[in-house]
């Protein structure tokens, strides 16, 4: 029996709900399969219970170009334990029967291309993903990938940042589906003390030209950062600060188990959510 696909994408539905109630969303990032695939399932269950707007699930990759040292360390450790793409899909399948929040795969195009874009999209949708972020996808390839993703009811979320020209930012905003990911700073992911002064102006312009939600990531690590970003954007993404706590919990000799990592993520995300307007 063929399983019927849902008629409304969860990303679209969530941002419609947020806009209708005047709220903003937090989208945590976690590394898939760290410390184990079953831990990923438990973390997603906890985050769903907290009411986050969605979760970015990072596919570990040995040669990531957009991820800083904290996330890359978690990638390395997951891969050293033998994690494979199929393990990530199975973890998401296990979580999807227990959670209703939007799930976005953050994945290298090398992985997608190796499997085949259409095949990867079908498998991602069947597992329970709602969208893709492919940080190393070229602008020229994006329209074709967006079309392929759409056939599986997946949104393709494109990234842009302060170093892109206004014209390129507008083009990216128009092609991106679901929402636009604005990188608050140039470079790789990582925690930073201050957010750039031009962030508010650039986000406002993106929302105007793209006509869709804008979510800000890179460098956001504190409740006050979330509050600042969400004063103008539709949501905030926090990655490295969460993954650092995952690593610390996994390395704590007093309690180095899956539940310790889930506890650490849950506690920190709860704290971050105090910054939401």
Tens of pLDDT, residue by residue over 36-94, are 999 999 999 999 999 999 999 999 998 776 668 899 999 999 999 999 999 999 999 99
What is the structure's pLDDT at 219?
84
What is the DSSP code string of 192-204?
-S---TTHHHHHH
Percent of the chain past pLDDT 90, that is, above it, reads 79
Q: Is 67 a catalytic residue?
A: yes
What is the structure's pLDDT at 258?
81
Cα–Cα distance, 25 to 51 (Å, whole number): 9
pLDDT at 245 over 60: yes
Cα–Cα distance, 49 to 76 (Å, whole number): 29
pLDDT at 4 over 50: no
What is the DSSP code string of 143-178?
HHHHHHHHHTT-EEEPEE-TTS-HHHHHHHHHH--S
Give yes or no for a contact between 118 and 146, defined as CB atoms under 8 angstroms apart. no
Dihedral angle computed from the Cα positions of residues 128, 132, 133 and 139, in that order, rounded to the nearest 10 degrees = 170
pLDDT at 146 over 90: yes
Catalytic: which of 12, 42, 67, 153?
A: 67
pLDDT at 32 over 50: yes
Cα–Cα distance, 235 to 214 (Å, whole number): 7
Nearest C-alpha neighbor of 180 from the set 237, 123, 141, 110: 237
pLDDT in tens, 93-116: 999 999 999 999 999 999 999 999
Q: Is 170 a catalytic residue?
A: no
What is the structure's pLDDT at 7?
65
Domain ranges of the chain: 24-189+196-275
Cα–Cα distance, 39 to 211 (Å, whole number): 37
Give yes or no for a contact between 161 and 186, defined as CB atoms under 8 angstroms apart. yes
Nearest C-alpha neighbor of 274 from the set 239, 247, 238, 245: 238
Catalytic: which of 56, 87, 153, 258?
A: 56
* Architecture of the structural domain at 24-189+196-275: Alpha-Beta Barrel (3.20)
- Please give the backbone phi and psi of residue 119, each rounded to the nearest 5 degrees, phi first: -65, -45
Tally the residues of the chain: 277
Contacts of 215 (CB under 8 A, 6+ apart): 25, 27, 179, 180, 181, 182, 233, 234, 235, 236, 237
Mean pLDDT (the chain) is: 91
What is the structure's pLDDT at 277?
83
What is the structure's pLDDT at 67?
67
- In the Cβ-directed half-sphere of 189, how many Cα atoms lie within 13 Å? 28
Nearest C-alpha neighbor of 230 from the set 54, 23, 47: 23
pLDDT in tens, 158-182: 999 988 999 999 999 999 999 999 9
What is the structure's pLDDT at 189?
47
The pLDDT of 250-273, averaged and rounded, is: 90
Beta pairing class for 214-217 and 103-106 = unpaired
What is the structure's pLDDT at 175?
96
The pLDDT of 216-231, averaged and rounded, is: 92
Confidence bin at 194 (pLDDT 50/70/90): low
With a threshold of 0.95, does the pTM exceed it?
A: no
Classified as helix, coil or strand, 132 is: strand
- Please give the backbone phi and psi of residue 123, each rounded to the nearest 5 degrees, phi first: -70, -40
Cα–Cα distance, 106 to 122 (Å, whole number): 16
Measured between alpha carbons, how far is residue 167 from residues 70, 148, 171, 208, 216 in Å?
33, 25, 6, 13, 19
């Amino acid at each position: 029996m063929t399983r019927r696909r849902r008629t409304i994408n969860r990303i679209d539905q969530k941002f419609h709900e947020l806009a209708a109630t005047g709220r903003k969303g937090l989208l945590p990032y976690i590394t898939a399969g760290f410390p184990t695939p079953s831990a990923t399932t438990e973390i997603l269950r906890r985050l769903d219970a907290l009411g986050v707007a969605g979760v970015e699930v990072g596919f570990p990759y040995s040669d990531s170009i957009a991820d800083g040292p904290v996330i890359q360390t978690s990638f390395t450790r997951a891969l050293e334990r033998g994690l494979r793409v199929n393990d990530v899909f199975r973890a998401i399948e296990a979580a999807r029967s227990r959670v209703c929040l939007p799930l976005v795969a953050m994945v290298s195009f090398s992985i997608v291309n190796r499997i085949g874009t259409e095949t990867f999209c079908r498998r991602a949708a069947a597992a329970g993903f709602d969208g893709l972020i492919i940080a190393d996808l070229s602008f020229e390839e994006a329209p074709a990938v967006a079309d392929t993703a759409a056939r599986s009811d997946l949104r393709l979320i494109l990234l842009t940042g302060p170093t892109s020209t206004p014209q390129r930012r507008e083009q990216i905003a128009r092609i991106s589906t679901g929402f636009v990911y604005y990188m608050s700073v140039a470079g790789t992911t990582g925690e930073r003390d201050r957010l750039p002064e031009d962030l508010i102006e650039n986000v406002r312009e993106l929302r105007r030209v793209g006509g869709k939600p804008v979510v800000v990531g890179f460098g956001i690590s504190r409740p006050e950062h979330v509050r600042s970003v969400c004063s103008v954007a539709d949501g905030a993404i926090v990655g490295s600060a969460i993954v650092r706590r995952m690593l610390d919990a996994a390395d704590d000799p007093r309690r180095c188990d899956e539940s310790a990592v889930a506890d650490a993520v849950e506690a920190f995300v709860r704290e971050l959510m105090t910054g939401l307007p």
